[in-house]
Structure 1
């Protein structure tokens, strides 16, 4: 192996923040769950998409071509969202949470996209979700395999 003999500047990412190119003719609103459309472009999440994270700001690419704009997403953290099926405090620290669109979250897997786990139940139908875009699909597959 050869060790460095001079400075070597490297391109570093912003930790839990990432930017993705947005599909053509769409708007991703701040706070939206963002999915990947299978062709590498970000969009408001649709059931079955790979979860990329939550949009930090609105991105209006309604008049643009694919990739003309990018969306900044938070890929990991905790977020308070309404969760269908989380009716009791027994939801604390456990159930997987899935998204069926950019603002609908549920405990039902079906064809939905895994985004994380309930961290804390707040009140009926409202939870703090511990999300991690890089682990969401992997976690769901592992748990399904353990069942």
Structure 2
């Protein structure tokens, strides 16, 4: 391939709501924090170092009896979502703009838990009932 020498009709795909193949034996609830596993399949958020934050599940996806990719889950991205704040490792106002970390499918924490947690995203706000994460 070489650089363009003429106009190109480049395909476009909206990246805000995406279908992601679900990991084998995984059940993702609507509203859950969704991550990609090390192999690229959707999984509920969990304490692990191999996850990549994706966003929020728009509907429940039950692949508990299926193989990798047997079903997909709709994941909303490019928004800020309010997740629970881990009481034992609270995200605070001073963390605004900094990374927070995945604890489970609804909770984030201030630190990586001694290198046991994956990054959830940037803190956009801290309220009494949760943390806004982009």
Unaligned runs of 5+ in 2: none
Query: Which residue does 1:65 correspond to in 2?
Result: 67
TM-score (norm 1): 0.71
Distance 2:78 2:34 in 1: 12
Alignment of 1:5-44 (within 5 A): 8=9, 10=11, 12-44=12-44
Count of residues paired in the alignment: 124
RMSD over equivalenced CA pairs, Å: 2.2
Unaligned runs of 5+ in 1: 132-147
Q: Say whether residues 1:127 and 2:131 are aligned partners.
A: yes
1:54-87 per-position Cα deviation (integer Å, ceiling 9, x unaligned): 211111112222111111112221112221213x
TM-score (norm 2): 0.77
Distance apart, 1:21 and its partner CA:
0.8
